[in-house]
């Protein structure tokens, strides 16, 4: 039995405000869509995750999946259609090239998907061809079609439904093909129309859909409450200046004009090495030399951005976020100040977080010690990460 997940991210999300579609707006330092991708990739039962995107969003999507380019279980994005239902059908058709037994269909705008609910859906799917998350209505319901409240709306048996919605793959693909062109509001409706029994499975209020502008503030608050395990890691690194003519000086992911580069097996980016070690330290997951041994020829002259991205992937796999990083570069020359903001932007870009969460500072050692004698450059970093508490 293989299970695939299809994330629908092809909408324009105009109600939520902002300059770009809501699924690409940032929540806790990463795009809204990335939260769903990470949650689904993090579940052991899900063999493949595919995302349906809008044709205009290829660049935003590439940014949102940074670091996952070679992930064995993330399929290439497929392009959606005019309405949500078209997008789901096109996504299912793409999955049909190598059909899974089951599929979970999830909206990109629900970033708080917890594994326990995926488990519940998959368990229910053994008994029924369809299973969807929902919450029984507990509030009293009234109708207002005259300008005045009217009672008498029976709430007994009513549910508000969410995603994921889980189905046996062949069934839902056929149902979508049969319903093409009809305006149905969710995949359960498509299944019901095809005569497939759909079971309702209790979900959680936390799995809400980000729709209105104020929902982002609610989502930020909820995220911080969930990521209550706050940890700090520190990293330190030194590289000597190289005698190699023409060797470039790379610091903080940027090539900085200077008469000498730093010696090292990789590109010797002392700042990214310190930051990578700080994140690994916060995770209690060894050090950079353990993950990327200098004895391994693969890392010869490597771009150290890959090391930082690896640490960020480990952090994401634990469901965590990088709350802040503070990096200090210690050298007499070159001057770091003029490059500070470009460096912050580059590091934030590599890590896939916003620039306000990255600090770069520089100091000299008043001509004392090896940095004072201009023999090399040192860097230290402190990383604060938040993990699910």
Only segment of 66-74, 235-243, 301-309, 316-324 that touches Mg ion (CB under 5 A) = 235-243
List, as own/partner pairs, every contact residues 248-253 make where C-beta atoms lie below 8 angstroms and the sequence separation is at least 24, other chains included: 249/334, 250/304, 251/329, 251/336, 251/339, 251/343, 251/377, 251/379, 252/327, 252/329, 252/339, 252/343, 252/344, 252/346, 252/347, 252/360, 253/304, 253/305, 253/308, 253/343, 253/346, 253/347, 253/349, 253/350
Q: Does 277 bind Mg ion (CB under 5 A)?
A: no
Only segment of 94-102, 200-208, 236-244, 245-253 that touches Mg ion (CB under 5 A) = 236-244
By beta-carbon proximity to Mg ion, the closer residue of 9 and 270 is: 270
Q: Does 273 bind Mg ion (CB under 5 A)?
A: yes
State how far the Cα of 90 lies from the Cα of 153, in Å rounded to an integer.
37
Q: Does 381 bind Mg ion (CB under 5 A)?
A: no
By beta-carbon proximity to Mg ion, the closer residue of 227 and 251 is: 251
Instruction: Give the shortest CB-341-to-Mg ion separation in angstroms.
Output: 24
Instruction: Give the shortest CB-277-to-Mg ion separation in angstroms.
Output: 8
Among 38, 57, 215, 237, binds Mg ion (CB under 5 A): 237
Closest-CA residue to 126 (of 188, 199, 193): 199
Instruction: Give the shortest CB-250-to-Mg ion separation in angstroms.
Output: 11
Instruction: Give the shortest CB-355-to-Mg ion separation in angstroms.
Output: 24
By beta-carbon proximity to Mg ion, the closer residue of 110 and 273 is: 273
Q: Does 22 bind Mg ion (CB under 5 A)?
A: no
Residue whose CB is nearest to Mg ion in the complex, by number: 273
Only segment of 68-76, 177-185, 270-278, 376-384 that touches Mg ion (CB under 5 A) = 270-278
Q: What is the DSSP string of 219-287?
A: HHHHHHHH--EEEEEEEEEEEEBP-STT--EEETTEEE--S--B-SSS---HHHHHHHHHHHHHHT---
Contact positions vs Mg ion (CB under 5 A):
237, 273
């Amino acid at each position: 039995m293989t299970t695939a997940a299809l994330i629908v991210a092809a909408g324009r999300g105009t109600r939520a405000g902002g300059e770009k579609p809501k699924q690409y707006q940032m929540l806790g330092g990463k795009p809204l869509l990335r939260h769903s991708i990470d949650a689904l990739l993090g579940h052991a039962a899900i063999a493949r995750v595919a995302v349906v995107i809008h044709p205009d969003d290829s660049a935003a999507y590439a940014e949102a999946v940074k670091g996952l380019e070679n992930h064995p279980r993330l399929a290439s994005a497929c392009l959606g259609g005019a309405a949500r239902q078209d997008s789901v059908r096109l996504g299912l058709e793409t999955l049909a090239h190598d059909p899974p037994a089951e599929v979970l269909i999830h909206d990109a705008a629900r970033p708080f998907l917890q594994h326990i609910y995926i488990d519940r859906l998959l368990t229910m799917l053994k008994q029924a061809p369809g299973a969807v998350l929902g919450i029984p209505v507990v509030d009293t319901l009234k109708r207002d079609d005259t300008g005045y409240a009217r009672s008498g709306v029976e709430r007994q048996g009513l549910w508000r439904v969410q995603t994921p919605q889980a189905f046996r793959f062949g069934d839902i693909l056929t149902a979508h093909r049969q319903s093409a062109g009809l305006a149905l509001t969710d995949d359960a409706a498509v299944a019901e129309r095809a005569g497939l029994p759909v079971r309702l499975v209790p979900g959680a209020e936390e799995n809400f859909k980000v729709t209105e502008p104020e929902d982002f503030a609610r989502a930020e608050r909820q995220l911080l409450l969930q990521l209550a395990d706050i940890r700090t890691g520190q990293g330190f690194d030194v590289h000597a200046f190289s005698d190699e003519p023409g060797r470039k000086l790379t610091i903080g992911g940027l090539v900085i004009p200077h008469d000498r580069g730093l010696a090292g097996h990789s590109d010797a980016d002392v700042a990214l090495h310190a930051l990578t070690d700080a994140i690994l330290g916060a995770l209690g997951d060894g050090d950079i030399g353990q993950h990327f041994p200098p004895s391994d020829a693969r890392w010869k002259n490597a771009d150290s951005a890959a090391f930082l991205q690896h640490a960020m992937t480990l952090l994401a796999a634990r469901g965590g976020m990088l709350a802040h990083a503070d990096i200090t570069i210690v050298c007499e020359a070159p001057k770091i100040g003029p490059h500070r903001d470009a460096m912050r932007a580059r590091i934030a870009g590599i890590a896939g977080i916003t620039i306000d969460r990255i600090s770069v500072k520089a100091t000299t050692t008043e001509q004392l010690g090896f940095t004072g004698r201009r023999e090399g450059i040192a860097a230290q970093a402190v990383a604060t990460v938040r993990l699910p508490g």
